[in-house]
Amino acid sequence: MRSHTPSLVGRDPQLTQLERAMAEARQGRGGVVFLVGEAGVGKSRLAAEAVGGALDRGMRVLRGRSSTTGPSVPFRPLTEALMSLFRGGEPMDDLPLGPYRTVLGRLIPDWDTGERDSSSMVILGEAVLRLLIATGRGQGQLLFLEDLHDADPETLGVLEYLVDNLEYTPVLLVATVRTDISDALDLAQSARRRGAAALVELAPLTRPQVHEVIAAQLGADGPDAVPAEVLQRLWEDSAGSPYLVEELLQSMIGSGTLVQGPEGWRAVGDLRRDVSSTLARGILRRIDRLGAQGLTLLSAAAVLGRRFPLSVLQRMTGVDDRALLGHLHASVAARLVVPDEPAPDWYSFRHSPTVEALFTQMTPGQRADLARRGAEAVEELHPGLEADWCALAAGLRCEAGDRVEAGLLYADAGGRALSAGALNSAVTLLSRAEGLLAEGGDPQARAAVLENLLPALAEAGDFARAFDLVDDLHALDGAGLSAVRLATLHARLAKVAHTAGRWSDGNRQIARAREVLAGAPGEAAETAEATTAAVDVTAAYLALDTPGPDRTQHAEKLARSAADTAERHGLPVVACQAWELLATVARERDPRESAAMLQQALTTAERNRLPLQRMYAATRMGGNAWLAEGDTSGLLAARQEALRLGSVSIVHTVDGILVLDAVLRGEDASARASAEECLAVVRRLRLAPAVRYVLMARATLEAHRGDRAAMESALAAFAEWDGAGSQEEPLSLGLARAFCSLLEEDRQLARAELGAVLALEADNPSTYHLSGTHGLVLLLDVLAGDADRVRHEEIAATAMARMRWNRQFVHLAEAVLLGREGAGARAAAAVESALAVAEPYPLAQHLGLRLIADAAHEDGWGDPVGWLRRAEHYFHERDVAAVTGACRAGLRRLGAPVHQHRSGTSGIPEHLRTQGVTVREFDVFRLLAERLTNKDIADRLFISPRTAEKHIASLITKTGAANRADLCARSAALRDG
Q: Partners of 422 in the beta sheet? A: none
3-state helix, strand, coil in the chain (%, to 5): 70, 5, 25
- Total Cβ atoms within 10 A of residue 930: 13
270 vs 576, more confident: 576
Report, as an integer, the average pLDDT of 702-722: 94
At residue 272 the predicted structure's pLDDT band, cuts being 50, 70 and 90, is low
Give the dihedral sign, CA 925/929/931/932: negative
* Nearest-5° Cα angle at 224, 218 to 228: 85
Alpha-carbon span 636 to 633, nearest angstrom: 5
Query: Which is more confidently placed, 527 or 817?
Result: 817
Q: What's the pLDDT score for residue 479?
A: 64
Q: How far apart (Å, rounded) are the C-alpha atoms in residues 492 and 506?
A: 9
Mean pLDDT of 692-712: 95
Q: Residue 796: is its pLDDT beyond 50?
A: yes
Q: Residue 113 pLDDT more than 70?
A: no
- SS3 for 87-130 is CCCCCCCCCCCCCHHHHHHHCCHHHCCCCCCCCCHHHHHHHHHH
**Rounded CA gap, 308 and 328, in Å?**
12
Q: Give the long-range contacts of residues 205-211, CB within 8 A, separation 24 or more.
A: 205/9, 205/10, 205/240, 205/241, 205/242, 205/245, 206/10, 206/240, 207/235, 207/240, 209/9, 209/10, 209/240, 210/234, 210/235, 210/238, 210/240, 210/245, 211/235
The pTM assigned to this predicted structure is: 0.65
Phi, psi (degrees; rounded to nearest 5) at 366: -65, -40
**pLDDT value, residue 2:** 36
- Dihedral angle over CA of 317, 322, 328, 332, nearest 10: -170
Within 10 A of 599 (CB to CB), how many other CB atoms are there? Answer: 14
> What pLDDT score does 844 carry?
96
Look at residue 62 and tell me whether its pLDDT is greater than 80: yes
pLDDT of 1: 33
Confidence of residue 274 (pLDDT cuts 50, 70, 90): very low
11: closest CA among 255, 277, 204, 293? 204
- For the chain, give the percent of residues with pLDDT over 90: 38
pLDDT above 50 (res 956):
yes
Most confident of 156-160, 528-532, 794-798: 794-798
| Lowest-pLDDT choice from 33-42, 548-557, 743-752 | 33-42
- pLDDT bracket for residue 855 (50, 70, 90): very high
Q: What is the pLDDT of residue 341?
A: 63
Whether pLDDT at 276 is above 60? no
Task: Kindly tell me if the per-residue pLDDT of 903 is higher than 60.
Answer: no
Per-residue pLDDT, 681 = 85
Residue 157 CA to residue 566 CA, distance in Å, equals 33
- Cβ contact 871:850 at 8 Å: yes
Phi/psi class of residue 478: alpha, beta or left (left: φ > 0; alpha: ψ in -120 to 50)? Answer: alpha
Would you say residue 236 has pLDDT above 90? Answer: no
Percent of the chain with pLDDT over 70: 92
Residue 778 and residue 751: Cα distance in Å, rounded? 10
Element (H, E) at 416: helix 403-419
pLDDT for 384 equals 78
- The crossing angle, in degrees rounded to 10, of helices 207-218 and 228-238 is 120
* Average confidence (pLDDT) over 70-90: 74
β-pairing, 307-309 vs 346-349, is antiparallel
Write down the pLDDT at residue 525: 60
| pLDDT beyond 60 at 118 | no
Question: Are the CB atoms for 869 and 913 separated by under 8 Å?
Answer: yes
**What value does the mean pLDDT take over residues 241-263?**
79
Of 684, 682, 685, residue with least CA distance to 696? 682
What mean pLDDT value characterizes the chain? 86
DSSP 3-state assignment of 400?
helix
Q: How many whole angstroms separate alpha carbon 525 and alpha carbon 923?
A: 85
Question: CA 130: distance to chain centroid?
Answer: 22
Which of 921 and 796 is assigned the larger pLDDT?
796
Q: Which of 222-226, 232-236, 884-888, 951-955 has the lowest mean pLDDT?
A: 232-236
In sign, the C-alpha dihedral spanning 675, 680, 685, 691 is positive
Average pLDDT of the segment spanning 30-51? 87
What is the predicted pLDDT for the residue at 339?
84
Q: How confident is the model at residue 3 (pLDDT cuts 50, 70, 90)?
A: very low
Q: Is the pLDDT of residue 280 over 80?
A: no
User: Could you read off the pLDDT of 734-792 as tens digits, one per residue?
Assistant: 999 999 999 999 999 999 999 999 999 988 888 999 999 999 999 999 999 999 999 99
Look at strands 198-201 and 258-261 and give their pairing.
unpaired
User: What is residue 719's predicted lDDT score, i.e. its pLDDT?
Assistant: 94
pLDDT band at 5 (very low <50, low <70, confident <90, very high): very low
In this model, does residue 383 exceed pLDDT 70?
yes
**CA dist., res. 561 & res. 565, Å (int):** 6
Q: Dihedral (C-alpha) 534, 538, 540, 541: value to the nearest 10 degrees?
A: 150
- Give the DSSP H/E element, type plus range, for residue 264: strand 264-267
Query: Helix/strand/coil (H, E, C) string of 338-396?
Result: EECCCCCCEEEECCHHHHHHHHHCCCHHHHHHHHHHHHHHHHHHCCCCCHHHHHHHHHH
Element (H, E) at 158: helix 153-165
What is the C-alpha to C-alpha distance for residues 594 and 583, in angstroms, rounded to an integer?
Answer: 4
Average pLDDT, stretch 871-890? Answer: 90
Contacts of 86 (CB under 8 A, 6+ apart): 92, 108, 110
Residue 73 near residue 85, CB atoms below 8 Å: no
